[in-house]
A and B are shown apart, each in its own frame.
Chain A
């Protein structure tokens, strides 16, 4: 399978715990994006990487959130001290920075904070 992979698919955690999600993009794609989607809404941009450099972060990304893409391949998104408001689907997408930049999305990680 050469698509975007996300792990885990579902995560249930208690308020105050830390969680980490992983995204493996399409191998030749140099850009990687994280989005968050709550029920009944469209996805909202969180942050993106070009290779290993994090180039932009949304104001939605509070200081409890951190994202990395250490070798320009897979990426991790960590949420510290989770809150109930963090419950959402976290989507990863990747693209090749040419030709209109079509995004390819993974299946997402559904986070539930109890």
Chain B
């Protein structure tokens, strides 16, 4: 059974810092990996999707990397801002044979960026 772990569980940083969130998964047979953002009491917003054949994806100040063989992904946020404060969730998609949308999520990292 696939298990996804995110470290740290919570992170508090001053504005302007670069930071790294970590995600690990136990079964390397995945189709893709996604990073989501969730604001309190709200739904999930997809940030980046990395196919299993890719090594990284970038969007603005966000960069996500994937090392499928070691079961790890990192989300790098550059020049953090108070508006980045949210919970960040990592999720992996199963390999072919079932729905790619049947995601297994980590518990999330609660990020607080203070001015």
Name A residues whose Cβ lies closer than 8 Å to a Cβ of B.
4, 6, 31, 33, 40-45, 48, 50, 55-56, 89, 91, 93, 95, 100-108, 110
Taking A45-B104, A105-B43 as known contacts, 13 extra A-B pairs with beta carbons closer than 8 A to each other, sorted by chain A number, are A31-B99, A40-B107, A41-B108, A42-B106, A45-B102, A48-B99, A93-B101, A95-B101, A100-B100, A101-B32, A103-B101, A103-B103, A107-B42
Q: Give the nearest-CB partner of B36 in chain A.
A: A105
> Which of B14-22, B45-53, B61-69, B70-78 touches A?
B45-53
**B115 contacts the other chain (Cβ, under 8 Å)?**
no
Residue pair B101, A101 in contact (C-beta under 8 Å)? yes
User: By the criterion of a CB under 8 Å from any partner CB, how many residues of chain B are at the interface?
Assistant: 27
Given the complex, which residues of B lie within 8 Å of A105, measured CB to CB? Answer: 36, 43-46
| Subset of 9 A-B contacts with CB under 8 Å | A41-B108, A43-B105, A45-B102, A100-B49, A103-B34, A103-B46, A105-B36, A105-B43, A108-B43
Residue pair B107, A104 in contact (C-beta under 8 Å)? no
Q: Give the nearest-CB partner of B50 in chain A.
A: A100
Q: Give the nearest-CB partner of A104 in chain B.
A: B46
Closest approach, in angstroms, between the C-beta of B94 and any C-beta of chain A?
10
Given the complex, which residues of B lie within 8 Å of A55, measured CB to CB? Answer: 99
With known contacts A48-B99, A95-B101, A108–B42 Cβ distance under 8 A = yes
Given the complex, which residues of B lie within 8 Å of A104, measured CB to CB? Answer: 46
Given the complex, which residues of B lie within 8 Å of A110, measured CB to CB? Answer: 41
CA distance A108 to B45 in the complex (A): 12
Given the complex, which residues of B lie within 8 Å of A41, measured CB to CB? Answer: 107-108
Q: Give the nearest-CB partner of B104 in chain A.
A: A45
Among the interface residues B99, B101, B108, which one has the most CB atoms of the partner chain A within 10 A? B101
CA distance A48 to B103 in the complex (A): 11
